[in-house]
């Protein structure tokens, strides 16, 4: 980790990777080498995995600088940069064994449920869901077999918000060895640092806000427990789902602007929320108050088709969190893997759209939404 005194997230981000290279380079250099020379047999025998380099699957100088920055941003101890958000989910859950129980919020990124079902059918992990309403209901679900509680807040796409502090306290009171894991993709460490609120593991799809430019695929796991970190490290270097060094460098560069990007995403989203609420065709708007994700319902499926077919500035495309605004229909895209009964319960319907507000001028985005609603 960088320094002793506590820095603000803006400063950590702006100086991501700086002042670490022996040559004094201001921007962190990009190391493509897949392997590293041993200066002596002595060094090879006493190799320090946390500081030195042998082979790129274990660590590269660029990826390590990124991981150290992520540790600082999330107030953790150790971070792992992976090839995708789903690789991060897999690493986080790699501690599960047959018979262990995983409890998750019922509203999550759709791919999570596909992986949970895989763990159920192939590993024999038991899986239960909680609706995020009452803590007492979560406590009722806990059992001696519970190993992980998996959360997203705000949730995706229905924007449920959870009190992570109260929730972590209740879970740990029941059994301090249960791991509370939080996917922090939507709020990022700028708005929420789950480890400081009692969570044990933070996961990101770095493909989204952390990268912010719709140009890389990545995942992140951050923990604040050395023993858990060592367990993850073994799995990480063994399975090799590591982030490519070029992507690590791109992500490091992107992190520098994360705080100002998030500020702008929020400002614009607030304006667009207001616009959507002013339109009679929009029956409901879900916005958690920060960041750039807005879900909204239109009055008819025909109108949904009209909007998706007619937006011009906003791209009808999956993903989120980038400079470019995107609109998706969760039912057919991000949440196609969620079972039908559950989609109905959550309100993932043919009239629900999810907008990722980008960094364009919000007035232009509003004009685009307005023309797509006015069409015909």
Ligand X SMILES: *Cc1c(COP(=O)(O)O)cnc(C)c1O
The catalytic residue positions are: 57, 109, 183, 208
Choosing from 146, 153, 168, 185, the residue that interacts with ligand X (CB under 6 A) is 185
CB-based burial label for 207 (10 Å; 0-12, 13-18, 19+): buried
Give the contacts of 140 (CB within 8 A, at least 6 positions apart).
none
Q: Does 219 bind ligand X (CB under 6 A)?
A: yes
Say whether residue 214 binds ligand X (CB under 6 A).
Answer: no
Please, what is the minimum distance in Å from the beta carbon of residue 103 to ligand X? 17
* Size (the chain), residues: 376
Nearer to ligand X by Cβ, of 156 and 304: the residue is 156
Q: How far is the C-alpha of 63 from the C-alpha of 72, rounded, in Å? A: 14
For 259-296, give one letter per residue: b (16+ CB within 10 A) or e: bebbebbbebbbebbebbeebeebeebbbbebbbbbbb
Nearer to ligand X, 181 or 303 (CB): 181
Q: Distance between CA atoms of 287 and 32, rounded to whole angstroms?
A: 41
Smallest gap from Cβ 121 to ligand X, in A, equals 20
Stretch that binds ligand X, among 49-57, 203-211, 278-286, 325-333 (CB under 6 A): 203-211
Q: In angstroms, give the least distance from the CB of 354 to ligand X.
A: 10
Q: Give the strands of the sheet with 179-183, arranged side by side.
A: 78-82, 219-223, 201-205, 179-183, 146-152, 101-105, 126-130
Q: Which is nearer to ligand X, 31 or 287 (CB)?
A: 287
By CB under 6 A, is residue 62 in contact with ligand X? no
Stretch in the footprint of ligand X (CB under 6 A) among 65-73, 124-132, 141-149, 200-208: 200-208
Residues 14, 17, 18, 24, Cα dihedral to 10°:
-160
Q: Which of 64, 78, 147, 208 binds ligand X (CB under 6 A)?
A: 208
Please tell me whether residue 74 binds ligand X under the rule CB under 6 A.
no
Query: Which residues of the shown chain bind ligand X in the complex (CB under 6 A)?
Result: 84-86, 109, 111, 152, 156, 183, 185, 205, 207-208, 217, 219
């Amino acid at each position: 980790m960088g320094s002793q005194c506590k820095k603000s997230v803006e400063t950590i981000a702006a100086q991501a990777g700086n002042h670490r290279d022996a040559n004094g380079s201001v921007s962190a250099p990009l190391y493509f080498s897949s392997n590293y020379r041993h200066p002596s047999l002595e060094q090879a025998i006493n190799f320090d995995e946390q500081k030195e380099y042998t082979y790129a699957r274990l660590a590269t100088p660029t990826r390590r600088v990124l991981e150290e920055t992520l540790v600082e941003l999330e107030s953790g101890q150790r971070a792992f940069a992976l090839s995708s958000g789903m690789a991060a989910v897999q690493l986080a859950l790699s501690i599960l064994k047959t018979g262990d129980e995983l409890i998750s919020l019922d509203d999550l990124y759709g791919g999570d449920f596909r992986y949970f079902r895989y763990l159920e059918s192939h590993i024999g992990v038991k899986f239960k869901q909680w609706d995020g309403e009452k803590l007492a209901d979560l406590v009722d679900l806990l059992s001696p077999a519970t190993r992980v509680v998996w959360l997203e807040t705000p949730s995706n796409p229905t924007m449920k918000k959870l009190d992570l502090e109260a929730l972590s306290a209740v879970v740990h009171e029941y059994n301090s060895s249960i791991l509370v894991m939080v996917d922090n993709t939507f709020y990022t460490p700028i708005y929420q640092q789950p480890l400081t609120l009692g969570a044990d593991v933070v996961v990101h799809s770095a493909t989204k806000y952390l990268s912010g430019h719709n140009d890389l695929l990545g995942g992140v796991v951050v923990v604040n427990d050395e023993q858990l970190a060592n367990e993850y490290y073994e799995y990480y270097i063994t399975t090799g789902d590591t982030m490519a060094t070029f992507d690590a460098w791109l992500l490091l560069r992107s992190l520098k602007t994360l705080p100002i990007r998030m500020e702008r995403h929020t400002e614009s989203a607030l304006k667009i929320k207001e616009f959507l609420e002013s339109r009679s065709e929009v029956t409901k708007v879900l916005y958690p108050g920060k960041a750039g994700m807005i879900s909204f319902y239109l009055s008819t499926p025909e109108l949904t088709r009209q909007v998706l077919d007619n937006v011009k500035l906003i791209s009808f495309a999956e993903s989120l969190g980038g400079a470019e605004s995107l609109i998706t229909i969760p039912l057919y895209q991000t949440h196609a893997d969620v079972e039908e009964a559950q989609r109905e319960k959550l309100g993932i319907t043919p009239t629900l759209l999810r907008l990722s507000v980008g960094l364009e001028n919000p007035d232009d985005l509003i004009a685009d939404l307005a023309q797509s609603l006015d069409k015909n």
